[in-house]
Chain A
Amino acid sequence: MGQRDVLSCEVSMRRNSAVRASMCRLDVESAVKEVGQSIGDVLSSPRYVLGRGVKRKLVDCEDPVPDLPYPLQRQLVMDLCLDKLQSCHRRSEPSLHRSVLLANTLRQLQQEMRQEGGGLSPTLAAACPAHAAPATPRHTPDLPPVPSDCVLAEEALPSLTSCHDLIFGSFEITNSTSYLTDLAPDDIFDDIDTSMYDPSDFSVLAFPSLRVGSGAPSTNGEEGLKTFSSCSPSSALQHRLSDLNDLDQIMEILVRS
């Protein structure tokens, strides 16, 4: 947390009045005007701990800010980047353009850090945008607490690309009415595995115990098949597993004796 305190950055946004250039420490400062509290700004969420919302008076000494060392500058930009990417879904106007630019910037910074071979920030791994839910339903992702002395190996860094689908995938505007008409009926069910329902797998003995739903006793093998097919795959599987378990137990007893 100490590292973040150094990078305090205030945004001055006052309702119904001017948005001034915020006093970001990476910027060359010529004069400092008064800094107000950000209101209703996504960046002012409690998670964002870069010293936001601190009210400072113009009068109180504003020493010219010393230039931050490059790695800290880069860290600041990266933190901002992650925060913005995560807030993408909560914006009223999600923008693919903006997300792509942010993702590219982040990737570029990551690459730079990799090339330098230095330790990667724990915040980078912890704040992977993959935690952000896709458009529906939305929830605020919670950052895991930042480990105090975490040094991550490169391999542990979650790939940014795995998060892209979630970031970029939610930008498509689909037309609700045409969604289903565009698909051939067979396509909709393509990915449903129907192998469980292969009738040739069934043994006659299994039928009596599988009568569910209909209630009527089945004398016809075919009806029994239909009954079976109305079961959910999981219950059929469970039944098979319990059969196997019984068999195991019997075997154990036999082996022990």
Chain B
Amino acid sequence: VAGGTGAGGNDVQWCFSQVKGAIDDDVAEADIISTVEFNHSGELLATGDKGGRVVIFQQETENKCQPLSRSEYNVYSTFQSHEPEFDYLKSLEIEEKINKIRWLPQKNAAQFLLSTNDKTIKLWKISERDKRPEGYNLKEEDGRYRDSTTITTLRVPVFRPMDLMVEASPRRIFANAHTYHINSISVNSDNETYLSADDLRINLWHLEITDRSFNIVDIKPANMEDLTEVITAAEFHPHQCNTFVYSSSKGTIRLCDMRASALCDRHSKLFEEPEDPSNRSFFSEIISSISDVKFSHSGRYMMTRDYLSVKIWDLNMENRPVETYQVHEYLRSKLCSLYENDCIFDKFECCWNGNDSVVMTGSYNNFFRMLDRSQRRDVTLEASRESSKPRQVLKPRRVCAGGKRKKDEISVDSLDFNKKILHTAWHPQENIIAVATTNNLYIFQEKVN
């Protein structure tokens, strides 16, 4: 990585800001973070975990006048979104793990988000209460009713301030529409509908209607014996409310236009890169499976993540990506081991920064990668307790693939494959990132001089 002095605006140095979660190494399974998402303003940061809980952090700006002032995220609301259920017919437990959280754009004082587990999507309203009415005519302050004979005057109750209370209440429950495990939800730009995708089907919902959903994609074969491909992720276009994409386990992305037909089984565009024959292995198909797809904020590009790489696609060009970045190419020679210990099936997510110039994705050993598209530079950083002094600048990490290991490098065989960063999120406007290790949430910010 070419050295950056940090003087210019392009070379961002990342500093530790905060870490949330338990310190000890013994991770309670319920605390495993399963999704991270900023809301549209970046003021709120939501996490979901394996125990079905949602924790929302709110940004407190010390000094709202200075845009680059140090801001901290503190707990705003915690609630139990999903509970484990039991499918009696199949004798299977339906996990309460939150697979995805998506925020709705804010329309009034309250905040709304969608959270989903394998089977059920819920719309939650998060609202603040910081005033309460006082001075009732018929009730005492503690709620007891007054003796009516003592009431001689009338008064209008007034609102007085109280300690802030944040309440989360489920407003809609969208259930029974998915036979297979839900992997994605995406709110449409029309702010009225959203899609939910499972392994074989994608459904379209209206946010107000819970007893009906439209099936818009169905790739289930008539004969399950013929099943060779599943849906891995889906997302609506950020501006065109008729357009969405879904990715598959075979490394393809299909763009569909809902104006074309009610059932979008036939894609409008098919994005697929021919396989590089020199990289062919037993595991080619497995590592080509796309684990995440994200549109750029501009809507012109989309990014896909497969096991070893991140690809940027121009929506106008289907036959190959316009950019390809290797996330951890040193793992290519280790694929059999990773297959054996199941790490090859890990699903990494990816995200764009606010102006689509940098993309980020996670890796093993609590490493994460920042890939600068404009500068054609990349850096590997680590989320660790050792580098978590306040405002400590993160040092770039290097992995030694083979041969002589230099100082400060870590060899491939020393990587900890239990420490994986699957979920990351980038503030929509500022250089603030949230990186989830197994059970901790790290928040890093751009170094402020």
Among B200, B227, B342, the one with the most A-chain Cβ atoms within 10 Å of its Cβ is B227
The answer, yes or no, to whether A90 is at the interface (CB within 8 Å) is no
Chain B: interface residue count, which band? Answer: 35 or more
CB-contact partner of A27 in B179, B249, B333, under 8 A = B333
B342: A residues at CB distance < 8 A: 84
Q: A164-B227, A173-B178 are in contact. Are A97 and B232 (CB under 8 A)?
A: yes
Question: Contact between A30 and B416 (Cβ–Cβ < 8 Å)?
Answer: no
* Segment with Cβ contacts to A, from B14-22, B87-95, B426-434: B87-95
Interface presence of B414 (CB below 8 A):
yes
Is there an interface contact between A28 and B232, defined as CB atoms closer than 8 Å?
A: no
Question: How many residues of chain A have a CB within 8 Å of chain B?
Answer: 59
* 8 Å CB contact of B249 from A101, A161, A179: A101
Q: Which residues of A contact B175 (CB under 8 A)?
A: 175
Residue B336, interface by CB 8 Å: yes
B119 surroundings in chain A (CB, below 8 A): 173
Asked if A131 is at the interface (CB within 8 A of a chain B CB), the reply is no
Interface flag for B190 (CB, 8 Å): no
Please indicate the chain B residues that have their CB under 8 angstroms from the CB of A18 in the complex: 416-419
Q: Is the CB of A28 within 8 A of B285?
A: no
Q: Pick the residue among B200, B224, B417 that contacts A21 (CB under 8 A).
A: B417
Given contacts A27-B333, A104-B228, A173-B181, A74 and B417 within 8 Å (CB-CB): no
- B residues engaging A (CB < 8 A)? 25-26, 87-92, 94-95, 118-119, 175-176, 178-181, 199-200, 224-230, 232, 249, 282-283, 285-286, 289, 333-343, 345, 401-403, 411-419
Contact indicator B341/A173 (Cβ below 8 Å)? no
How far apart sit A175 and B119, CA to CA, in the bound complex (Å)?
10
| Inter-subunit contact B90/A30 (CB<8 Å) | no
Q: Per-position contact with B for A127-147: 1 when CB-CB < 8 Å, else 0? A: 000000001110000000000
CA distance A214 to B39 in the complex (A): 71
Contact B181 A95, beta carbon cutoff 8 Å: yes
Name which residue of chain B comes closest to A107, CB basis.
Answer: B228
In Å, the complex CA distance between A96 and B118 comes to 12
Q: A135's contact among B91, B335, B411, by CB below 8 Å, is which?
A: B91
Stretch in contact with the other chain, from A9-17, A116-124, A230-238: A9-17
Residue of B nearest to A172 (CB): B179
Q: Contact: A16 with B249, CB < 8 Å?
A: no
> With A96-B181, A97-B289 known to touch, is A136 a contact of B91 (CB < 8 Å)?
yes
Q: Does A176 contact B (CB under 8 A)?
A: yes
Q: Are B414 and A105 in contact (CB under 8 A)?
A: no
